[in-house]
Structure 1
Amino acid sequence: MIDLKQDAASITHINQRFDDLVGRNREELLSRIKDEPQRVIIQYYLNVLRELCKQGCGCLPINAFSTLEALSRVIMEQSANMLYVGMDSGDNARSLLRSSKKLTESNGKSWAAYLSEQGLQNPAAQARQANGERMLADFDRRWPDVERYPGGKGLFAALGWENNYYAFYAPLCDSVHSFSDDLSNLVSISEVFAESAGVGEQLLMYWEKERRRLATYHYTVAIALRGEAFGRVCSAVDLILDDKEAEGIYADLHSLIDRHEDFDGIRLSEMNAGDLSFENFPIN
């Protein structure tokens, strides 16, 4: 059985423990990062991730699970960014900074080209392109030969997180873009209603519980990736965390993750065998 209220309480407590762990080591971590742009970026990501995870915990008691799914995706991506920037001596930080200048330049150029094709003008488009070109040229003079910052799958692959990309991040992108998975399920359930209102009602109730369970599970994974990213950034500057506390947090996170994965795995086996009964897999 999955008890979502109990899981919500556990996740919130774990997240607070992790915030406390970060708080105790934050200044020492930053003091060991000698590259100034890298230090500024890591400091910012620490703040952003704390804020995002706090908002995620706030979603749990009010059943804001669509918002939680979107937040989980953002937490995973920003954890990946923090780890990538923190895993070397500063080159990756400059790659990230250059990508911002390049994006401004290319966006302005594309916008201006589109307007020109339509016989339209907007001074903001040319200004954006010119500003991007100027910032990019200034950046390249200061730091020549900076590597391109990896995006999407490339970023996760650089961290050894390919499985996390395919298993969690890519599917969660749907929660940011179109909600097509949820809508597809709802349409299929509506077709069942046309045949049997009773069965349709049962499916709808269980699907809603499963949607909440998945959001809770994905959020737990996001917090775990945030934890891994922080631990690896600390290791990169030889900062040793409190092993007992860190291991306790990670053990509790993975215990919760394993319980959800075992639940899903056994349920999938029964479904493949044609013996699935919702009553055997309660979600409360």
Structure 2
Amino acid sequence: MKTITILSIFICSNASAKTIFEWPNHAKAAISLAYDDALNSQLDHALPALNKLNLKASFYLTLSSPTVSNRLEEWRHIAKQGHELGNHSINHACHGSLPGRDWVLTYNDLDKKQFDEIIQEINTANTFLKAIDGETLRTFTVPCADQLVEHKNYVHALHDAFVGIKSHVGKIPKSRSSINVMDAAVWSPSGNSGTELIAYAKQAAFYGTIANFTFHGVGGDHLPVSIKAHQELLDFLAKNKDIYWVDTYRNISLYIKKNAN
């Protein structure tokens, strides 16, 4: 019995060890820089700063945004530069009944949507995005982190449509084995300093895991961070590429899925 028990522990330990993987180039942490809602300031300020330092990011497009139709060729060019165009739905429906949601329009209130309706919208958004960038693999960020429609979790029903999903606001994972690319936590900075942004990245390095930044406006638009703060973070990441692996969330998700099994 003792022999069997010891052998069982050894097998379980080896099975657990398989979930521990190394980041590319022996980096200590992965960094996902993401930009939600398809905003002008992202094209005007964030993109040039990223390209200057050769940092790749994920831009989650709300396809009904006028910035998508008005600047379509620029978004198409972003994809050719190696950035990801992620899915952030067509209309960005959110629960209007929650506090601070007076901006949610009646026709775009998730409280009034049907389950199949929102699933169809997200899948149709993937089709539109493929028409822009030609890609078939991409990731999804849940609008407002609202996952329930008709008291059912619609995000769970979309797992086959994406290689990664950013689903909620939460803390940095404390171990690589706890990283779930299909249920990832994000931080959405707004008005934070460069020092605070850098501290968040450092926390991921401390745990050896991943920091998911979800920006909105950069030097303008809504929920903005300043151009200065954003630049300070990018400069820090670029100067410490031996510590931080910065890539699109699509590439990060695919890497984890391949190496964490």
Q: Taking structure 2 as the reference length, what is the TM-score of the superposition?
A: 0.25
The structure with more radius of gyration:
1
Looking at secondary structure, tell me which structure has more strand per residue: 2
From the two aligned structures, give the one with the greater helix fraction.
1
